[in-house]
């Protein structure tokens, strides 16, 4: 890799000289499976193949909310997909998600089975299947969908942009860090202004958009993600902090946010979930 200030892009990019930076070993410019391997299937209606990252946690928190609401059909097996080891490129995983990213869901209670990929699509699928946490009235539904899609469109600037260049890139590029810091602080301000007059993102009622946005921006303000709490001055977003602190007190959040976690203190990890008692 040449020094960034001397780099002149070639006429046609080729897959070589990729070095440094976290995730370099799993990045590839081609889609599809790298190896043959079936996915395991458990005993419950819903089979989740995931990892406890913000995109994964959205789904496990929603599933725990649905179970808390009494929906037995939301019982799930959560299998661990180790993206650092390339599990997302197995033939079985690619059948459920051709995009090779967690989370991926297989609903085996339908005939034929239903595959769903993209965390936002999984959330809408589950909310519609159980008639929960997604308003039916058209304008309330539009507001919920707007914040859900806001999260899906915004978080890549936070994770893939800010987080990547602030925490993971092999060098600190001032231009990239400035560009993405500007955008992430603007996003935090969008949320903060919205939450200045609303208890939850859409008003008085908690819904899937809160779960989705919380997994990224709630964690960012509460958990020193990317060790950037001071750099981003996250404490100054008072309304986001108030909302985020309230959500982490929900029992379903406490349960779901631990599923598919294979790091942190051993006693809180729940790498796989096949029964409610797996989350102590
Ligand atoms: N837009 C997708 C993003 C999913 C995503 O980026 N997942 C990451 C982990 S958070 C992943 O599986 N990365 C593996 C890879 O890039 O190979 C979603 O929301 O489901």
pLDDT tens readout for residues 219-269: 999 999 999 999 999 999 999 999 999 999 999 999 999 999 988 888 889
Rounded-to-integer distance, Cα 69 and Cα 252, Å: 10
pLDDT of residue 1: 64
pLDDT at residue 24, rounded to an integer: 73
Distance CA 11, CA 18 (A): 17
Residue 190 in any domain: the answer is yes
> Is 167 found in the same domain as 123?
no
- CB neighbour class for 190 (10 Å; exposed up to 12, middle 13-18, buried from 19): middle
Inside any domain, residue 199: yes
Average pLDDT over residues 175-204: 98
Do residues 69 and 126 both lie within one domain? Answer: yes
Burial (Cβ within 10 Å: 0-12, 13-18, ≥19) of residue 196:
exposed
Asked if residue 86 is part of any domain, the answer here is yes
Residue 19 has pLDDT above 70, yes or no: no
> Residue 25's pLDDT is what?
74
**41-77: per-residue pLDDT in tens?**
999 999 999 999 999 999 999 999 999 999 999 999 9
- Tracing tokens 């989350």 back to the chain, one arrives at 279
89 assigned to some structural domain: yes
Same domain assignment for residues 92 and 179 = no
| Longest CA span, the chain | 60
In terms of Cα–Cα distance, which of 20, 113, 99, 109 is closest to 55? 99
- Residue reference for tokens 């609401």: 69
> What's the confidence (pLDDT) of residue 262?
87
Per-residue pLDDT, 59: 98
Query: What letters, b where the CB count within 10 A reaches 16 and e where it falls short, cover 197-217?
Result: eeebbbeeebbbbbbbbbbbb
Domain presence at residue 71 = yes
What token pair was written down for 167? 């925490």
Q: Do 96 and 174 belong together in one domain? A: no
Mutate to test the pocket of ligand 1, among 31, 102, 119, 123 (most ligand atoms within 8 A of CB): 102
The residue segments making up the domain with residue 65 are 46-133+267-278
Q: What are phi and psi of 115, to 5 degrees?
A: -100, 145
Torsion of CA 250, 253, 258, 260, to 10 degrees: 160
Distance 7 CA to ligand 1 centre (A): 29
pLDDT at 256: 98
Distance, in Å, from the CA atom of 81 to the CA atom of 86, rounded to the nearest integer, reads 8
Which residues have C-beta within 8 Å of that of residue 72, sequence separation ≥ 6?
Answer: none
Residue 77 near residue 103 (C-beta atoms within 8 A): no
Q: What is the DSSP letter of 131?
A: T
CATH number for position 174:
1.20.1050.10
Which residue among 28, 34, 83, 101 has the greatest number of ligand 1 atoms within 8 angstroms of its CB, and so is best to mutate? Answer: 101
Integer distance in angstroms from the first to the last C-alpha of the chain? Answer: 47
Whether residue 103 is found in the same domain as residue 199: no
Rounded to two decimals, the pTM is: 0.96
Residue 9 within a domain:
no
Q: Say whether both 171 and 236 belong to one domain.
A: yes
Asked if residue 119 and residue 192 are part of one domain, the reply reads no
Protein residues with CB under 6 Å of any ligand 1 atom: 26, 53, 55, 83, 88, 100-103, 118-119
Please give the backbone phi and psi of residue 105, each rounded to the nearest 5 degrees, phi first.
Answer: -125, 140
Residues 102 and 142 occupy one common structural domain? no
- Same-domain check for residues 184 and 202: yes
Mean pLDDT, all residues of the chain: 95
- Report pLDDT for 17: 64
102 pLDDT higher than 90: yes
Task: Tell me if 200 is assigned to some domain.
Answer: yes
Give the confidence band of 16 by pLDDT, cuts at 50, 70, 90. Answer: confident
Does the residue 240 lie in any domain? yes
Two tokens at 224?
A: 């020193």
Q: How many residues does the chain have?
A: 280
52 CA distance to ligand 1 centroid (A)? 11
Closest CA to ligand 1's atom 11: 101
Cβ atoms 87, 39 nearer than 8 A: no
Judgement on whether residues 147 and 243 belong to the same structural domain of the protein: yes
Residue 176 and residue 95 share a domain: no
| Average pLDDT, integer, range 195-206 | 98
Average confidence (pLDDT) over 147-169: 98
Residue 128: Cβ-neighbour burial (10 angstroms; 0-12, 13-18, 19+) = exposed
pLDDT band at 210, cuts 50/70/90?
A: very high
- The confidence score (pLDDT) of residue 280 equals 83
On whether both 128 and 182 belong to a single domain, the answer is no
How confident is the model over 187-206, as a mean pLDDT? 98
Per-residue pLDDT band for 21 (boundaries 50, 70, 90) equals low
Task: Count structural domains, the chain.
Answer: 2
Measured between alpha carbons, how far is 239 from 220 in angstroms, rounded to an integer? 14
CATH classification of the domain holding 55? 3.40.30.10
Please answer whether residues 180 and 161 qualify as being in contact, where contact means their C-beta atoms are separated by less than 8 angstroms.
yes
């Amino acid at each position: 890799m040449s020094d960034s200030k001397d780099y002149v892009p070639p006429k046609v990019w080729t897959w070589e000289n990729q070095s440094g930076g976290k995730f370099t070993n799993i990045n590839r410019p081609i889609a599809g499976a790298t190896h043959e391997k079936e996915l395991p299937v458990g005993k419950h209606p819903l089979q989740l193949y995931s990892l406890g990252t913000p995109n994964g946690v959205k789904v496990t928190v929603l599933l725990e909310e649905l179970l808390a609401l009494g929906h037995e059909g939301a019982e799930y097996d959560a299998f661990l997909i180790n993206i650092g080891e390339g599990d997302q490129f197995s033939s079985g995983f690619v059948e459920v998600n051709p995009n090779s990213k967690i989370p991926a869901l297989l609903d085996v209670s339908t005939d034929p089975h239903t595959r769903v990929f993209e965390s936002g699509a999984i959330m809408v699928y589950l909310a519609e299947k159980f008639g929960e946490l997604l308003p039916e009235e058209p304008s309330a539904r539009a507001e919920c969908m707007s914040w859900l899609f806001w999260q899906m469109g915004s978080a890549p600037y936070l994770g893939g942009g800010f987080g990547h260049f602030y925490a993971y890139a092999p060098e600190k590029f001032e231009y990239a860090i400035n560009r993405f810091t500007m955008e992430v602080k603007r996003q935090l301000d969008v949320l903060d202004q919205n939450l200045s007059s609303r208890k939850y993102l859409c008003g008085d009622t908690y819904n899937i958009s809160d779960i989705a946005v919380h997994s990224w921006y709630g964690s960012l303000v509460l958990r020193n993600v990317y060790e950037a709490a001071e750099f981003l001055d996250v404490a100054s977003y008072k309304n986001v902090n108030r909302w985020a602190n309230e959500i982490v007190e929900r029992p379903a959040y406490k349960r779901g946010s631990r599923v598919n976690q294979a790091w942190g203190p051993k006693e809180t990890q729940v790498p796989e979930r096949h029964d409610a008692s797996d989350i102590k």
